[in-house]
Amino acid sequence: MKSLRAIPSVDSLLNLPVMAALQEEYGHEWCLQAVRQVLDEVRSQAKSADNLPTEEEIVSRVRSLLISQSTPTLQPVINATGVVLHTNLGRAPLCQSALREVSRIGEAYSTLEYDLNKGQRSKRDVHAADLLIRLTGAEAALVVNNNAGAVMLALAALANRKKVAISRSQLVEIGGGFRIPEVMRLSGAKLVEIGTTNRTHIEDYETAIQEGASLVMLAHQSNFKIVGFTTSPSLTEITELAHKHDLPVLHDLGSGALIDPATFGLETELTVQDALLQGVDIVCFSGDKLLGGPQAGIIVGTAKLIDKIRRHAFYRALRADKLCLAALSATLLEYLKGSAVESIPVLGMLARKAPELKAQVEKWQNELAAGQVIQGESMIGGGSLPGQSLPTWLFAFKPKSAKQFSNRLRQLDIPIITRIEDDRVLLDPRTILPYQEAVLLSSLRAALSEEKNEKRP
């Protein structure tokens, strides 16, 4: 057995010429830690193994360790799942103008809370507010970190220690632990459940109001659907009743469509504008679901209530940052200019039609000389439009092991995320961003040829 003394010292390794470049790139301290870690591993492994690694092998391990430690864990991926608002894959990709704004505002000082005319302090909420007001017809608007925060803040500001009436059919749990009853409790509001899971009548709201409810809340059933023997009053019935008793109505719209999804062949959906037209006083919705912008919680409604919400201490804790406001403003501008469907990736994906998708997959099949072109469904995802899908065409490939093949695609420099069905790996062109297609095809070509070579004994 070799003596452990043959293992080089920390200093002798750090003084090697090859280490100079690594220290230049990662700094002395980080290199020192990496060298120590690798040497510790070598020592503990050497106790049982006879062959110690060479100096070169140790340096190469140090280099690999530094590379893996410095690679951001947040990486862009190619979403070939066909789930348009994939929560785990970051929901909405940003439009080009939003990206430009993030870079323009992020690299310099900005007028985040500064009034150039007066030369003094101003409020950050002005930035996206005017655009939101113009788009939705609301009197006022406020932007916070995300929609969970928006709902929490609105309830805390408007209904702390007060009773809030909500239908049992709307006590939803959204992914990631957002449960309406819990958010209500945390906000200090007192939940008053009305109606039943499948049926809620206007009389149920009336009774709750007579029993002291001071706010009526509605929540979008984002990720489920109740079908069969169901009923619920119309939104205008509810808002008229609430207003007759001087109570505000708060609607957590969830995905917050500004364009009715019916435009894309999906079921019609209450838009933010329509909710306000039908008398809702406060509407909360996400910035990165159907709106297709950055993560944000948007609150629009009457000036009086928005002002009350803005003055609540939680607003300071939940407010949006400058990069979010920059990206959101740019995204909203696309709507105002009428260029949303062309410019905003999520909307463009929803708008794509089956024949065009089929042609794209046929092109892949041709270029790769592999796979099949089959019919399928793209999901909307992200807790929006439950159970709804859009017809699509898929590239289907049956490898030796679908699991191993899809795993290989996930380990690429630009990972490709796929679906597996019936031992086939499926790729949906709907969610591939145009600039990713060339990389997708060259990666697939390489993976397919590797698969072919492995098949030969």
Ligand X SMILES: *Cc1c(COP(=O)(O)O)cnc(C)c1O
Residues 162, 163, 167, 170, CA torsion sign: positive
Q: Are 187 and 213 in contact (CB under 8 A)?
A: no
Q: How many residues bind ligand X (CB under 6 A)?
A: 15
Q: Of the listed pieces 37-45, 251-259, 325-333, 337-345, which binds ligand X according to CB under 6 A? A: 251-259
Q: How far is the CB of 79 from ligand X (least distance, A)?
A: 18
Which residues in 190-249 contact ligand X (CB under 6 A)? 219-220, 222
Distance CA 344, CA 33 (A): 45
Lookup: tokens for 297: 């919680």
Distance between CA atoms of 365 and 359, rounded to whole angstroms?
10
For 44, counting Cβ atoms within 10 Å of its Cβ (0-12 exposed, 13-18 middle, 19+ buried), the class is: exposed
Distance CA 418, CA 400 (A): 16
Footprint on residues 294-353 left by ligand X (CB under 6 A) = 297
- Binding of ligand X by 252 (CB under 6 A): yes
Q: Where are the alpha helices (DSSP H) in 107-214?
A: 126-136, 147-159, 180-187, 202-210
Stretch that binds ligand X, among 92-100, 252-260, 373-381, 397-405 (CB under 6 A): 252-260
For residue 452, the minimal CB distance to ligand X (Å) is 43
CA angle 103-107-112, nearest 5°? 90
Count each helix (H run) and each strand (E run) in the chain, helices first: 19, 17
Residues 412-451 that bind ligand X (CB under 6 A): none
Of the candidates 35, 143, 178, 416, which one interacts with ligand X according to CB under 6 A? 178
* Cβ atoms 428, 80 nearer than 8 A: yes
Q: Is the CB of 152 or the CB of 259 nearer to ligand X?
A: 152
Residue 195 or 294: which CB sits closer to ligand X?
A: 294
Cβ nearer to ligand X, comparing 240 with 321:
321
Q: Which residues between 276 and 305 bind ligand X (CB under 6 A)? A: 286, 297
- CB 205, min distance to ligand X, A: 19
Q: For residue 271, state whether it binds ligand X (rule: CB under 6 A).
A: no
Nearest approach, Cβ of 141 to ligand X (angstroms)? 16
CA separation for the pair 181, 241 (Å, rounded): 23
Q: Which of 174, 194, 299, 325 binds ligand X (CB under 6 A)?
A: 174
Could you tell me the smallest distance in angstroms from the CB atom of residue 191 to ligand X?
15
Query: At its nearest, how many Å lie between ligand X and the CB of residue 220?
Result: 4
Site for ligand X in 383-402 (CB under 6 A): 383
Q: Which is nearer to ligand X, 18 or 226 (CB)?
A: 226
Q: Which is nearer to ligand X, 143 or 174 (CB)?
A: 174
Tell me, what amino acid is at 111? T
Nearer to ligand X, 27 or 387 (CB): 387
Q: How far, in Å, CA of 435 to CA of 42, rounded?
A: 44
Q: Note the helical H segments in 189-338.
A: 202-210, 235-244, 272-277, 303-310, 313-318, 322-336
Q: How far is the CB of 320 from ligand X (least distance, A)?
A: 12
Per-residue binder mask for ligand X (CB under 6 A), 49-88, x = binder? ----------------------------------------
- Write down the least CB distance from residue 219 to ligand X, Å: 5
CA distances for 153 relative to 76, 156, 161, 172, 296, angstroms: 32, 5, 14, 18, 13
Q: Rounded CA gap, 116 and 110, in Å?
A: 10
Which of 174, 178, 308 has its CA nearest to residue 248? 308
Which of 173/240 has CB closer to ligand X?
Answer: 173
Round to the nearest angstrom and report the end-to-end CA distance of the chain. 39
Instruction: Supply the minimum distance, in Å, between the C-beta of residue 178 and ligand X.
Output: 5
Task: Compute and round to an integer the Cα radius of gyration of the chain.
Answer: 28
- Pick between residue 255 and residue 418 the one whose CB is nearest to ligand X: 255
159: three-class secondary structure by DSSP: helix
Output 81 or 384, the one with its CB closest to ligand X. 384
The single-letter code of the amino acid at 387 is G
Q: What is the 3-state secondary structure (H, E, C) of 74-85?
A: CCCCEECCCCCC
Q: What is the DSSP letter of 416?
A: E
Nearer to ligand X, 87 or 278 (CB): 87
- The values of phi and psi at residue 25, to 5°, are -80, -45
Which residue, 101 or 252, is less far from ligand X as judged by CB? 252
Shortest Å, Cβ 419 to ligand X: 22
Instruction: Tell me whether residue 61 or residue 220 sits nearer to ligand X (CB atom).
Output: 220
Site for ligand X in 136-165 (CB under 6 A): 146-148, 151
We find the least distance from the C-beta atom of residue 315 to ligand X, in angstroms, to be 16
Min dist. Cβ of residue 275 to ligand X (A): 12
Which residues of this chain interact with ligand X, rule CB under 6 A? 146-148, 151, 174, 178, 219-220, 222, 252, 254-255, 286, 297, 383
